[in-house]
Structures are given as structure tokens and as C-alpha cells.
Structure 1
Amino acid sequence: MADEVTSHNCEILSVCIRFLELKSDEKPVIHEMLIDFAPLARITGAVIAENNKETSAKHSINIGDCKGQAYDTTASMSSINGVQGRTAPDADYQGCLLHSLNLAICHTCALPPIRNMINTCHEIYIFSDSSPKRQKFLEAIIKAQCPKSKVLRLQGLCKTRWTQRHTTYDTLFALYPYLLRVLDEICMPSGNTYSQTSSTDWNWDKDTEVKANGLRHTLLSFEHLSAFFLAKELLEPLSPLASSLQGEHMEVYLAFKKVDSVIDYYQHMRSDIDTNFNELYKRLLDFAAENNIEERLETRFDESKRAHYELCSLIPQLVKNMDLDTSQNILHDKWQHILPKPESFHSELKRWKNMCENLKSNEASENITSILKSHADACFFPKIRELLLVLAALPIGSVEAERSFSCLRRIHSRLRKGMTVERLGNLGVIAMHAFSMKQFGITNHQIAARFVQMHPRRMTFSNVLLDSDTL
């Protein structure tokens, strides 16, 4: 997994890995970890792929053992001549699901009414947030009309994650009547007292009155209200989906199952529109149906773009309905190079299907790590276990790389922008995975001792820190 970001005019590549930790008496544990930050001379596919290989070699990771790779869906990353084709040609590429979800929403929200509504929401946020006086007036009105309200400020629209805008819409929806009251009082002061001050004593300048009047008419227009309502309602199912896809331990099958459930919800909402909504909501959702948001999702998440999706057929809930000969041919042709004794795979797959059909409903788990622990033992189902281990270790996107960007912002500050990328990468790994080191039995003393061995000084480690007699 890898992604690039610009920090202080420097292009930096975040390289991460996803792996499975096998424990003897416990179920396997999935890990996603940052391994290094690497400098980029250019952001072409060839340069990024070369940095992936160099970083892997630097940390003694055999790129040939890679079973899957995940980047965003841009051409430089996803094409055969791009990063995925040059880094590990034999490893299946999975486009980042969160990036695909973001693009699906972005294309749907490009319609003029939705785009205008988004611009208005941004303008009302700037109108309030850019002036302490206007923000204070908004808080005074909220406290006067709803003293128990904990929401006092608007939130800005996230520029990169469209799914995170639902929080902004929820906040705006909650403050809608108070925003209209603020705009009314600015344009036509009523003389009511807010925060021990009459609304006529705030002395608004002409520019504020003109902006408030324009925003007031826009917020009251039916076009804006309908677009705002639709955006809020349609983004609501995508917000928990985005949160799920960002999880470090999310597995391939469960991720695609959640995506399919959201697509089914949109299709069901469209099909039952006449019975579930009154005439007003029918007109609003008819407009949403023309936007084809579920068709966007189906295009972004169709099975041809789901790496290693054939392995999901081994999950107990799905193996009951699979065609044995077809699945055996697909799995054997693609994975025979990693299977122990592949010639007996058909017989083992048949036994696996028979075992899954006899499982009770409470025993048929969808969690791959639980299946590995409870059912796919290495003695009775060695080939099935090998394939499930691959499925558990597969990434669903490059979220870990993007998560490392937040850490990068904290470390690579203006005062530290001159540090080398090697030092930056080491600090990044320590900052993100300091708590994980205890799980692997790594102590602070071991780290300090290793540092001393790599960077010897005239005075020994013991003389400086441990042996007080020599000081």
C-alpha cells in the first residue's frame, strides 16, 4: 500500500504493509503498518514503483511474496504501466475502496443544483467563521432560543473526503432555524435582546448586510432546500460505510458486503418510493433517482474491480451455493503455485463444502480470522487454509498510507522541514506504532541498544547512561 503527499514543497511517498500474524493457540491477527516515508523526485508511476521496491528491499521485505497491492485509482497508480504493474506484476491490484467511494459521490454531486447547494453551505460557513462578531451573534441567538444546545458552531466542508461532509450537513440541519434568525436580524433588526444586547445595537456594516440578505434568500429557496435535503439523506448511508472502510482490520469479503448492502439500500429506496414517501418526498427522491448514485457505486465497485474476489467463495455462507467444478477451476488455475499438493485440491474443496453445509448457523462465521482458527486447520484443510490466509492479508485500499499523512503533518512541521527523509520515516514509524511494539516484545532498551550499535560514539553507551562512576 502506498500513497504520495506534498509537505513543504517536497513530494513524500508513504509505504505501508498489511500482514497476518499467526499465533499458535489464538486466531490470526491482521496488522497494517507504516514502514517508511520515501522522497519522490517525480510522481510518475515508474518513480513511485522504484521507490516501493527500494523501500521494501531496505526493510528486508521480499516484494515477490506480495499477494496483493492497493493504491488509489488514478492512472499512474492503477494502470499496467503504472505503479501496480511495475511494483509487483504478479500481485493483484485493488483500487482503494474509500477513494472509489469518494469519486462516486464526487461525480454525483457535480450536478448544478447540488453543486450550488454545496457552494451555499460553504459560503454560510465562511460568513460565520470568518468574523468573531458574527459567530458571537450566532451563539447568542442559539443560547437564547435553545439553551441546552451543545452545537454552537458550523463545520466546514471537508475538501478531500466527501463522505465526511455528512457531519457538516447534520450540523447545518440542526442550526438551520438559528441561521435564518441571524440573517433576519442582520437584515431587519427586530430589537430583541440577545446576550444582554439588543439586535439593533450590533451595528452591522453594509457589506455584512448585503451578504446576509443574499444568503437568507438562498436558504429559503425551494431549490436549495430540496438539494440540501437530498444530499443529507443520500450521504447518510455512506458515512458509516466510509468509517468501516477506514478500519485497519477490515477484511475483503466484509468490505464488499458492506458496499453491496449500501447499493441494495439505494435500489430499494428507489423501487419503494411510491409507497414509502408522500408526494413532496417523492418529487425530491425522483430527482435523486435521476442522479443515478447507485449506478455510480455499481460501476466503481463491480466484481471486475474486486481483487481476489474469487477467494471469497470459500467463506462458509457462500461455499454452500458455489458451483464446485467452476470454482475449483478458477482457484486452481490462479493459485496452484502456492498450494501444497495442488493435484488433490478438488477433493479437499469438496470436503470443505461438505463441512460448511453441515455447520450450524451460529458456527458459520463471516470473519476470516475466526474461520482460520475454528475450521480451516492446517492438518485437515491445508490448501483451503493457505488460500484463506491470503484472503485475510489482502488490503482493501490505501487507507493506512493516507492515515500516515496525519502523522506526517505533526512531525514534518515548519521548524523540522530540513530533516532528512530517512529520519522522517523513522520518526513516523515510532509515532504511529509505538504501542504496537509491545505486542512484538520490543522494549525501549532494545531500541536504544540498537541505536548505539548503529551509531557508535567515543564514549560507550554504558559510560553515558548507566555507569555513574565514569562520569
Structure 2
Amino acid sequence: METNQNVSASLDSEYSRQIKENRNIMASIVKTVMFCASNNISLRGHSVDNGNFMNLLKFRIDAGDETLKSHFTHMAGNAKYTSPTIQNEILGLAKGLIVQDIVTDANQSVFFSVIADESCDISGKEQLSIVLRYTKATEVYESFIGFVEMNSVSAESISTSILSHLTSTGLDLQKLVGQGYDGASTMAGHVSGVQKRIRDKYPRALFVHCAAHCLNLAINDQSKVPTIRNTCDIIREIIRFFRESPKRRTCLGLNIPLFCPTRWSEKYKSIRIFKCNFKRILESLGALECDSSGDTRAKAFSLKCALEKSGVTYAVCLIGRFSALIEPLARKLQAVGVCVPDVKNLITSLQNVLSQNRINSDTALDIYKEACEVLNVQQLTTPRIAEKQVYRDNVNAESGPQYFYRAVYIPYIEGLSSLHERFSDNSSFFNLLSIIPPNKPTKLDEIERLYCLDNLESEVILWRSSLSSQLKPECFHELLLSANDYPSVRNIVQIIMALPATTVEAERSFSCMKRVKTWLRSTMTSDRLSDICVLHCHHEKISEEKINQIVSNMAGSRRRMNF
């Protein structure tokens, strides 16, 4: 009897030792996959057995991992756990654990919002990025949870994909209070757009138009002024002209960024740098016009002639000055966790500056003098007044400064004034902001019914009277603490924090997508792309505990090795 017990104990001990060894082997493989994914290193090369993943495993063996060496030496080829199928399974399990952590935090928060945007990957597939915005204590988080491949980009298809993806992750959609998209009619349409379809099912999910998109649209409204539109095209062509050739770039001695179609703050930066180096650019074009040959000489001559026109020079100085004001605002809108009240304060500040410049003609005179100094002339040339004018308006002016003030400066400033229309207070979420001083509370009864709150009006009155005069309305941490005794007010403050101000986190996921899925990796499947991008964006969440959990999850199904 004792012998049988000893044999059984020995078998159990050997089995436990084998399980532990197999788990260590699998952990080494999982760690290697995680290292490649989190650092955006392609796993495979020209063949399955020749790539970064396999070379890293060989590196681990060379570094002294005898258990892994024994595994690859003695184990059968179909039980080495390095195949693409196993890689995809590990990536999927890891992504699932990270997304589950994010979903748990979102469900534990009082409210959350969804942010979505769509872009095309390198292989031509439409990818829908989904981001969650939620609060944790007094901090705001925006977390990317994956891509969804879209076969159709209709409002019905996109809204169905968003809701089904959120439901599949286990989110409590009764806590959904906000939607953040761009202003495309498919997404923002108030009749049958994505936001309307989702709000029909979840009435609390208010739609917020991305503030960064709104600002860019307001800036684009300036293109209605012909001089401004033509000047922007000339600036774009000159920047491209110098960047096309290392010789031209060396002649300029400056690297001006291109007009980036997605990173709008770079556009304002490009114009600001162009304006600050106006004279150097003119001198470089003149040098290329004289010393170069062929197409370079002809193009340098035409661009120099275009840039030396009085209207263009004045417009460059004008745009450059106001781009310097807009650039920091655009950069702040790209910050992580920016809230709707922050956006409103920033836009209000910009509107005040523009109003002051609209009234004060000294700014226009300073710009005129700067343009004269750049061209080294006493006065800028003004167009003649024709009896019948087709392509531009006849502007009656007694002097050059007056002409450019009326013909260019005022239309440009009034074009920027469309910020008021783009950021209109008529949006429904501005009713929520009205409870925060110094705003006047409006439509509290509607808010109370929508969010099933109790005694909101009385709580708002008492809460506002109890606030310290030194309390900053934009400091949500202090606002939350001050509303501890007023549950309905506290809920409103948390809803405001959860509302998405911009969609920049979705834009960042597209930057990640472009880094991951390149021309060399264009055959990557959409599931693998989504898994790697989530791991790459949330690399800080990969821990030893998650590695062990992945190994345990893999042990839940039949394997050739026991884990």
C-alpha cells in the first residue's frame, strides 16, 4: 500500500514538474509575441521560420534559456507553438484581456461616451476606430478598444457595428451619455445619421461635434476670400518645391513642414515658419532662378513672381500673424482628456482676440508696414478699379492701407468669425454646461427628465451658492468635491466630464494603424491589425500577471502540451 502511494506521489510530482516546465516554455513564447506587438515589430519575415519572432526566440536560447532550447530540439514540428495560428491566438487573448480591463473601468464609472472615426488602411479596407471615454475618480480617460472592418460605410451599417461591438465587449450601454464624431453627414446627420440612430435607442447619448474638426472648418471658411485662397495655394507650392530636391532645401537652409491634411496644427506651424522666413525664401528663389537650369529655374521664377505680388505678400503676413494665434489652440485641442468646457473657454478667448482685432485697425496697419518692409517698398501696389469687374470686387479706397484693410483684412477676420456658428450654444449639451458658474442655468427640467434626476433645480441653487469665489469652474476635481452633498449636481458634472470634446484619440489610432500596417505588411488581416494596434497603444498594460493569464486561458482547450 505504501509502495502504491509512493508511485502515485512520484507520478504527481513528475506531472507537476512537466506542467510547470511547459508553462515556462509557453510564457517565453507569449512574452516574445507581446514584445513584438507592443513595440510594433513585425513577427514574420519572408517565411514563417525566418522573421523577428523566431530570431528573438533563438536569441532567448542563446542567452541561456535551456528549457526553451530543449523544447525546440525535442518537440515535434506541430507542437512548437510558433505557427501563425498560435501567434494570432495569443494576440487575440492579450487584446481581450486589455479591452476587458478598459470595459471594467468604463462600467465602474458613472457614465461613459463612445468616440468613432473611419479611415482606410494601406490595403484599401475601411477600418472603424472605436474609443471609450470615461472617468475614474476625478481623471478622464480615452482608451482605444479596437478596429472594426466595414464592408459598407452607410449610417445604418456604422451605427450597427458600433453598438454590436460595444455590446460584445460587455459594456452597460445604459450608461452611454455621449457620442463623438466628425461633422460628416453620415455620422452627424440629425435625420438618419449615426448619432441620430444611436440616440433613438439611447436618448441620453448626446452628440458632440469634434472641436478640432470645427476649428479646421472655420479656418477653411477663409478660402471664400480669393486672395487668401490663392496665397495658401502659393505657400503650399513653394514648400513642396523646396522639399522636392535636397539641393533646393540646402539652398534655403530651412526645412519647412508640409501642409499635413490630418495634423492641422502642423499647417498653422508651416504658415508661421513661412512668414517668419519670408525674406530668406525670396532670396533662395532668386538664387535658384539665376543659378539653376531647366525646370527648376522656370519654376523658381514663376513662384518668386507670384510671391512678390503685393496682395500675396500682405496675405502671407496676415495669415502668418493669426496662424501664430491659432496654433497653440489647435495643439491644446489635441491634448488627452480635454473637456467640453475647456473647449468653450478656449474658443471664447480666441473670439475675443478676433473681435478686438476687428475693431482695432492698428493691427491691419502693422501688417501693411510689415509687408512693405519685406518687399522693400514704400507702398504696396493696389489693383486698378475697372468699370465692370467680374472676378473681384471694386474696393473704393483712398490709400494702400485702406484698400488692403477693406479688401483682405476685414473679409479674413469675418471669415474667422464663423467660429461663433461652428461652436454654437444651441447644441443640447450646452444646457448641461449652464449649471457651472458664471453661466445661467437653463432647461433644468428637461435635464432632470432626461437623466432621471431628482430635485435638480434646488440642488443647483444651493450648490452654486456654496461655491467659493476662488473656485475655478474648469477645475473638475474641485467641482466634484464641492458637489458631494448634491448627488444630482455631481451626476451632471460627471456627465460633462464624460462628454467627448474631440476625436483626436481615434485619429491617434489611425497613426498607429499606419505604423503597423505598411506596404511590407499589407496582407495583414483586420483581426490581427486590431489586436496589434490595441497592444501597441496600451503597451503599459502588459504585465507578468497578464502573461500568466494568457497561458492559463490557452490551457483551457485541448493541446499537445499540458499547461
Secondary structure of 2:418's counterpart equals: helix
* Counterpart among 178, 186, 189 of residue 68 in structure 1: 178
Q: Is the 8 A contact 2:133 2:141 kept in 1?
A: yes
Deviation by residue 1:219-275 (Cα, 9 ceiling, x = unmatched):
222111111112112222221111111122111111111111111211111012258
Which residue does the alignment assign to 1:376?
483
Paired AA for residue 418 in structure 1: T
* Counterpart among 252, 256, 272 of residue 138 in structure 1: 252
Classify 1:227/1:424 alpha carbon distance in 2 versus 1 (closer, same or farther; 3 Å). same
Secondary structure of 1:20's counterpart equals: strand
Classify 1:276/1:40 alpha carbon distance in 2 versus 1 (closer, same or farther; 3 Å). closer
CA distance in 1, matches of 2:367, 2:434: 43
Deviation by residue 1:109-148 (Cα, 9 ceiling, x = unmatched):
2432122212211221222221222223333xxxxxxxxx
Matched, 1:312 2:433: yes
How many Å apart are 1:186 and its aligned residue?
Answer: 2.9
Classify 1:212/1:455 alpha carbon distance in 2 versus 1 (closer, same or farther; 3 Å). farther
Any stretches of 5+ residues in structure 1 without a counterpart?
23-27, 140-151, 190-203, 462-471
Deviation by residue 1:387-422 (Cα, 9 ceiling, x = unmatched):
111111111122211111000111112233323322
CA distance in 1, matches of 2:552, 2:409: 60
How many Å apart are 1:277 and its aligned residue?
Answer: 4.2
Larger displacement relative to structure 2 (223-232 or 31-40): 223-232
Matched, 1:115 2:193: no
CA distance in 1, matches of 2:553, 2:317: 57
Classify 1:442/1:276 alpha carbon distance in 2 versus 1 (closer, same or farther; 3 Å). farther
- CA RMSD, Structure 1 to Structure 2 (Å): 2.4
Q: Is the 8 A contact 2:272 2:320 kept in 1?
A: yes
Paired AA for residue 207 in structure 2: Y
CA distance in 2, matches of 1:221, 1:455: 74
Classify 1:310/1:212 alpha carbon distance in 2 versus 1 (closer, same or farther; 3 Å). same
Matched, 1:233 2:321: yes
How many Å apart are 1:330 and its aligned residue?
Answer: 4.1
Paired AA for residue 66 in structure 1: L
Which residue does the alignment assign to 2:187?
77
* Counterpart among 195, 205, 212 of residue 293 in structure 2: 205
Q: Is the 8 A contact 1:4 1:13 kept in 2?
A: yes
- What is the TM-score of this pair, normalised by structure 2? 0.68
Paired AA for residue 332 in structure 1: E
Question: What are the residue-to-residue correspondences of 1:96-111 with 2, within 5 Å?
Answer: 96-111=210-225
* Counterpart among 288, 291, 295 of residue 186 in structure 1: 288
Q: Is the 8 A contact 1:251 1:368 kept in 2?
A: no
Deviation by residue 1:190-225 (Cα, 9 ceiling, x = unmatched):
xxxxxxxxxxxxxx2222211111112122221111
Q: Is the 8 A contact 1:105 1:162 kept in 2?
A: no
CA distance in 2, matches of 1:454, 1:367: 48
Classify 1:390/1:83 alpha carbon distance in 2 versus 1 (closer, same or farther; 3 Å). same
Which residue does the alignment assign to 1:10?
125
Paired AA for residue 419 in structure 1: M
Paired AA for residue 347 in structure 1: S
Deviation by residue 1:46-72 (Cα, 9 ceiling, x = unmatched):
111111012101211133321010101
CA distance in 2, matches of 1:111, 1:235: 16
Classify 1:206/1:407 alpha carbon distance in 2 versus 1 (closer, same or farther; 3 Å). same
Which residue does the alignment assign to 1:459?
561
Classify 1:87/1:329 alpha carbon distance in 2 versus 1 (closer, same or farther; 3 Å). closer
Matched, 1:401 2:515: no
Paired AA for residue 215 in structure 1: L
Question: What are the residue-to-residue correspondences of 1:254-265 with 2, within 5 Å?
Answer: 254-265=342-353
Q: Is the 8 A contact 2:219 2:416 kept in 1?
A: no
* Counterpart among 164, 182, 197 of residue 86 in structure 1: 197
How many positions carry a matched residue from both structures? 410
Any stretches of 5+ residues in structure 2 without a counterpart?
1-114, 370-400
Paired AA for residue 334 in structure 1: L
How many Å apart are 1:81 and its aligned residue?
Answer: 0.8
CA distance in 2, matches of 1:447, 1:81: 43
Q: Is the 8 A contact 2:364 2:405 kept in 1?
A: no
Larger Rg: 2
How many Å apart are 1:364 and its aligned residue?
Answer: 4.0
CA distance in 1, matches of 2:314, 2:363: 20
- What is the TM-score of this pair, normalised by structure 1? 0.81
Larger displacement relative to structure 2 (10-19 or 243-252): 243-252
How many Å apart are 1:375 and its aligned residue?
Answer: 0.9
Secondary structure of 1:35's counterpart equals: strand
* Counterpart among 233, 239, 243 of residue 129 in structure 1: 243
CA distance in 2, matches of 1:455, 1:250: 44
Which residue does the alignment assign to 1:289?
410
Secondary structure of 2:560's counterpart equals: coil
CA distance in 2, matches of 1:454, 1:78: 44
Paired AA for residue 131 in structure 2: C
Q: Is the 8 A contact 1:157 1:165 kept in 2?
A: yes
CA distance in 1, matches of 2:293, 2:510: 41
Classify 1:450/1:112 alpha carbon distance in 2 versus 1 (closer, same or farther; 3 Å). farther
Q: Is the 8 A contact 2:364 2:409 kept in 1?
A: no
Which residue does the alignment assign to 1:199?
none
Paired AA for residue 459 in structure 2: E
Classify 1:256/1:447 alpha carbon distance in 2 versus 1 (closer, same or farther; 3 Å). farther
* % identical equivalent positions: 26
CA distance in 2, matches of 1:131, 1:92: 49
Q: Is the 8 A contact 1:230 1:285 kept in 2?
A: no
Q: Is the 8 A contact 1:69 1:395 kept in 2?
A: yes
CA distance in 2, matches of 1:207, 1:44: 46
Paired AA for residue 156 in structure 1: L
Paired AA for residue 192 in structure 2: N
Classify 1:279/1:314 alpha carbon distance in 2 versus 1 (closer, same or farther; 3 Å). closer
